[in-house]
């Protein structure tokens, strides 16, 4: 497996060198500061450093300086602080959900300002529309997708077989998920649950993400494209939260309280939960450590399957020197080429946000070996953007607190969402 993967990656890198050579060099020595949230995806510095070295070798008049800034929150905070101090990064990988905050703070410049040629336009039009939906505001493209993911269902085929279910079939509706969950939930002689049917992480940072998927499965979105209105009291939104709460309260197939994001993969690997909702980014970890056969599937629907997109986009900072921004645009085009995104997806598990990346020879060979990765790609057209509004940190906290209150039984779903909607309305009123 290791030798195959090395060969495959070598195939992917060959076109990258050629691509970098085609970018040319800028006329003067230019330094590009690149803020990157390394803790989000684990120790990825070596991969990023390798891409930087390849780019610099072909563009000797451009120096890219990666600044590894912790997680997304850390990186956003440091980026805003640097921008306000007059020393902004040139380019940064920040959450797609931060777009309104970055625009409101007047620290980023639209990527579309740098799209001037037919080649530029062809490149920009090559991104998947679903991912670009979170990059456009007021007719302008403010960022481009890079470090993107989506949420999927993993199921334990061994547990399914033990419960008398067809291990090749996964739940396609909410009712099926409940039925399958009841079948695979396992108790010991004392009546204590030793294996839960399903686990949906509900802690801060994941709750609003996966709740967006639940709402979408029920045919609604949590917020509008303008980021100034939310729809939390919609009966279908309330129904979605009630379904989540009832997985434990009524059906007894979900751990009580809040399922933690960080423990969900280990709970799955240790067979404490038979089905989990988590990111595609956990696939490589589960493949490497699982002692049983599992499957990857799209989320169920009520009635239509749907998921939610996540991850980071590339932003150019407004007040960086003009030469730096032009050099950053060259670097961005390199990072988001079909060849590099294919290589990036193979090495990290992130979902390549360009159809062209999936057509490269390296990616086709990888998909032939690990066909489960196609689930994430095929689910993208029915996936919605993650929670994103003006004052996103404040509104996101309000929503997460409401979800926690419902999941822990402190409030009914109706009360939790009504209270959250009232508070968010007050926050967003100036932006309407």
Give per-residue pLDDT as tens, 334-365.
Answer: 999 999 999 999 988 899 999 999 999 999 99
Q: Using 50, 70 and 90 to split pLDDT, how confident is the model at 5?
A: very low
Tokens of 58: 């072909």
pLDDT of residue 281: 82
Q: Mean pLDDT throughout 390-412?
A: 97
Beta carbons within 10 angstroms of residue 154's beta carbon: 26
The pLDDT confidence band at residue 112, using thresholds 50, 70 and 90, is very high
Residue 6 pLDDT greater than 50, yes or no: no
- pLDDT at 348 (0 to 100): 85
Q: How many CA atoms lie within 13 A of 364 on its CB side?
A: 5
Is the pLDDT at 172 greater than 70? The verdict is yes
pLDDT of residue 76: 94
251 phi and psi angles, rounded to 5 deg: -95, -20
Handedness of CA 272, 275, 277, 281 (dihedral sign): positive
* pLDDT beyond 60 at 149: yes
Is residue 400 within 8 Å of 204, Cβ to Cβ?
yes
Q: What is the pTM of this model?
A: 0.89
Average pLDDT, integer, range 100-108: 97
Domains and CATH numbers, the chain: 2-149+310-384 (3.40.190.10), 151-308+388-431 (3.40.190.10)
Q: What share of the chain in percent tops pLDDT 70?
A: 92
Residue that is written with structure tokens 């690149």 in the block: 34
Residue 295 has pLDDT above 90, yes or no: yes
pLDDT of residue 69: 84
Res. 367: pLDDT tops 60: yes
pLDDT at 39: 65
pLDDT at 42: 53
Mean of the pLDDT values across residues 55-61? Answer: 96
Mean pLDDT for 312-319 is 97
pLDDT for the residue 18: 56
**What average pLDDT is seen over the chain?**
93
Position 8 pLDDT exceeds 80: no
Where does residue 118 rank: exposed (0-12), middle (13-18), buried (19+ CB within 10 A)?
exposed
Query: Residue 1 pLDDT > 50, yes or no?
Result: no
Quick one: average pLDDT of 227-246? 98
Distance CA 94, CA 102 (A): 10
Q: Which pLDDT belongs to residue 2? A: 41
Cβ–Cβ < 8 Å for 175, 190: no
Mean local confidence (pLDDT), 377-386: 93
Lowest average pLDDT, out of 22-31, 177-186, 203-212, 230-239, goes to 22-31
17-31, 45-59, 180-194, 324-338: least confidently modelled range: 17-31
The stretch 117-133 carries a mean pLDDT of 96
Compute the residue count for the chain.
432
**pLDDT score, position 412:** 98
Residue 362 burial (CB < 10 Å; 0-12/13-18/19+)?
Answer: buried
User: Is 21 a residue whose pLDDT tops 90?
Assistant: no
**pLDDT tops 90 at residue 12:** no
Residues 238 and 183 sit within 8 Å (Cβ to Cβ): no
Place of tokens 């404040």: 394
Q: pLDDT at residue 3 above 60? A: no
pLDDT band at 44 (very low <50, low <70, confident <90, very high): confident
Would you give the distance in Å from CA 185 to the centre of its chain? 29
- Within 8 A by CB and 6+ apart from 195, the residues are 159, 184, 185, 186, 271, 272, 273, 274
Place of tokens 């997985």: 247
């Amino acid at each position: 497996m290791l030798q195959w993967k090395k060969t495959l990656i070598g195939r992917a890198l060959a076109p990258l060198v050629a691509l970098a050579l085609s970018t040319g060099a800028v006329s003067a020595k230019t330094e590009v500061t690149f803020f990157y949230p390394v803790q989000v995806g684990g120790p990825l510095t070596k991969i990023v450093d390798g891409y930087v070295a390849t780019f610099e070798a072909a563009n000797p008049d451009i120096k890219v300086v990666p600044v590894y800034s912790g997680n997304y929150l850390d990186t956003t905070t440091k980026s805003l602080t640097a921008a306000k101090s007059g020393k902004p990064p040139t380019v940064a990988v920040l959450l797609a959900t931060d777009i309104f905050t970055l625009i409101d703070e007047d620290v980023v410049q639209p990527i579309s300002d740098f799209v001037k040629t037919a080649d530029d336009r062809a490149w920009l039009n090559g991104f998947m529309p679903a991912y670009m939906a979170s990059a456009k505001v007021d007719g302008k493209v403010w960022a481009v997708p890079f470090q993107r993911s989506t949420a999927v269902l993993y199921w334990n085929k061994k547990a399914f077989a033990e419960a008398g279910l067809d291990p090749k079939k996964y739940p396609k509706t909410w009712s099926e998920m409940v039925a399958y969950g009841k079948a695979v939930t396992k108790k010991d002689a004392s009546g204590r649950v030793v294996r839960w049917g399903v686990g949906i992480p509900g802690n801060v940072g994941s709750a609003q993400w996966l709740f967006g998927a639940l709402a979408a499965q029920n045919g609604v979105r949590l917020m509008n494209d303008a980021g100034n209105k939310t729809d939390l009291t919609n009966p279908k939104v309330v129904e979605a939260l009630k379904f989540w709460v009832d997985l434990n309260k009524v059906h007894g197939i979900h751990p009580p309280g809040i399922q933690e994001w960080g423990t969900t993969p280990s709970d799955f690997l240790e067979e404490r939960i038979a089905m989990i909702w988590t990111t595609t980014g956990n696939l490589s970890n589960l493949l490497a450590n699982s002692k049983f056969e599992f499957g990857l599937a799209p989320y169920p629907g009520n009635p239509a399957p749907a998921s939610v997109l996540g991850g980071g986009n590339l932003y150019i900072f407004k007040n960086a020197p003009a030469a730096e921004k032009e050099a950053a645009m060259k670097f961005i085009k390199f990072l988001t080429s079909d060849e590099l995104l294919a290589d990036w997806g193979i090495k990290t598990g992130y979902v390549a946000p360009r159809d062209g990346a999936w057509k490269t020879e390296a990616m086709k060979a990888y998909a032939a070996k690990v066909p489960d990765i196609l689930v994430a790609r095929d689910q993208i057209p029915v996936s919605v953007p993650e929670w994103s509004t003006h004052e996103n940190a404040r509104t996101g906290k309000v929503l997460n607190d409401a979800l926690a209150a419902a999941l822990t039984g402190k409030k009914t779903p109706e009360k939790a969402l009504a209270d959250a909607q009232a508070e968010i309305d007050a926050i967003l009123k100036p932006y309407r």
